[in-house]
A and B are shown apart, each in its own frame.
Chain A
């Protein structure tokens, strides 16, 4: 009788807590290929920020508070082109919409029995593509109580490390050879193009990727201060339109 009460007490306690030992296992992914690629993309971003004239303090502030490289780049491009808050914020918001379905896909995987909504609101700020893809793949091999700590371990370690890397390059950029800097900057667009191609669920997203790329320079010529917003929206709408047309055609046939 006594032992059964203590058993119940123990299991209740277990259900009410996370297993934070998984945090370390998540953090260890810092030494993985996707983490390395992301790190180099932020090394490039640190250099870009330096060339754009962004002070170190602003860089160190904006990397972890935003924590989504497309948003970082749109904000930086906006600041450089002298765009207003009312042009930058909508472009950032539209580019970041993908955070919503990503968060929605992740939560059922990492939620434990006792998880509160405020836990998820906090943790969701770490949702970004690299740790997200990885945790979705790994979740099934981790006990429920360890999944949220595992994700936080990976994502927070990446956020801290990339901020440090970006800050270092911000300081070192003027002393690095220009060929090295060119290669670092070039990591980012190819990293985006390939990861987005791989995470696309429908062909329309591949089409949107190609269209956005093709419309980009046209929009710069039309209206440089809102070019990303114009090119991105147009590409997305056309890609979705074609997607609808092909669906209705295949339904008719």
Chain B
């Protein structure tokens, strides 16, 4: 079953609900039912956080290594350099999200302006 499997106008909405909304919401509801019955620092929650973090990291990698559209027109070294540069400055200057985001953008723009 794919996003464009059927021609019905409502199919993509159903697809979005089943493939995206429900798999996200079940964890929130599970949290509501399990609260108070489970230790939030328990060992298997550490495992869960590791897997969830790994998945988001894979999404980040896709933006840098295999982007679509406009970002794909920029060379890999520029995307990598801006990402690592921004993140490095973020780590070095007291871990402010805004600083990291801003510096990554500044590096990306400077790279585009200088070399393209």
- Which residues of A approach B to under 8 Å, CB–CB? 33-34, 37, 47-48, 51-52, 55, 58, 61-62, 65-68, 70-75, 77-80, 82-86, 88-105, 107-108, 117, 120-121, 124-125, 127, 178-179, 181-183, 185-198, 200-202, 204-205, 207-217, 219-220, 227-229, 231-237, 239-240, 243
Q: Which residues of A contact B33 (CB under 8 A)?
A: 117
Q: Do A192 and B50 have beta carbons less than 8 Å apart? A: no
Q: Which residues of A contact B112 (CB under 8 A)?
A: 179, 182
- Bound-state CA distance A96–B27 (Å) is 7
Q: Do B52 and A96 have beta carbons less than 8 Å apart? A: yes
* Nearest residue, chain B, Cβ from A41: B101
Given contacts A51-B69, A185-B69, A227-B58, contact A237 B51 (CB under 8 A): yes
Question: Chain A interface mostly helix, strand, loop or mixed?
Answer: helix
Q: Do A99 and B38 have beta carbons less than 8 Å apart? A: no
Q: Do B48 and A100 have beta carbons less than 8 Å apart? A: yes
Given contacts A97-B27, A117-B32, contact A233 B55 (CB under 8 A): yes
- Bound-state CA distance A47–B69 (Å) is 9
Q: Do A220 and B28 have beta carbons less than 8 Å apart? A: no
Q: Which residues of B contact A211 (CB under 8 A)?
A: 54, 57
- Counting chain A CB atoms within 10 Å of each CB, which of B18, B26, B30, B60 scores highest? B60
Q: Do A67 and B24 have beta carbons less than 8 Å apart? A: yes
User: B49, B50, B59, B95: which contacts A70 (Cβ < 8 A)?
Assistant: B59
Please report the total number of B residues contacting A with Cβ < 8 Å.
Answer: 75
User: B53, B56, B97: which contacts A37 (Cβ < 8 A)?
Assistant: B97
Q: Which residues of B contact A231 (CB under 8 A)?
A: 54-55, 57-58, 61
User: A103, A204, A207, A208: which contacts B35 (Cβ < 8 A)?
Assistant: A103
Listed by A's residue number, 6 A-B pairs whose Cβ atoms lie within 8 Å are A62-B21, A65-B16, A77-B59, A108-B36, A190-B87, A243-B46
Question: Chain B interface mostly helix, strand, loop or mixed?
Answer: helix
Q: Do A92 and B20 have beta carbons less than 8 Å apart? A: yes
Q: Do A71 and B109 have beta carbons less than 8 Å apart? A: no
User: A77, A197, A240: which contacts B95 (Cβ < 8 A)?
Assistant: A197
- Bound-state CA distance A235–B60 (Å) is 13
Give A216 Cβ to nearest chain B Cβ, in Å. Answer: 3
* Nearest residue, chain B, Cβ from A200: B53
Q: Which residues of B contact A88 (CB under 8 A)?
A: 19-20
- Counting chain A CB atoms within 10 Å of each CB, which of B16, B55, B73 scores highest? B55
Given contacts A62-B20, A65-B16, A107-B35, contact A191 B97 (CB under 8 A): yes
Q: Which residues of B contact A47 (CB under 8 A)?
A: 69-70
Q: Which residues of B contact A93 (CB under 8 A)?
A: 23-24, 26-27
Give B84 Cβ to nearest chain A Cβ, in Å. Answer: 10
> B74-116: contact bitstring with A at CB < 8 Å (1 yes, 0 no)?
1000010011001100110001011011001100110010000
Q: Which residues of B contact A195 (CB under 8 A)?
A: 97
- Bound-state CA distance A186–B54 (Å) is 19
Q: Do B58 and A219 have beta carbons less than 8 Å apart? A: yes
- Bound-state CA distance A219–B57 (Å) is 12
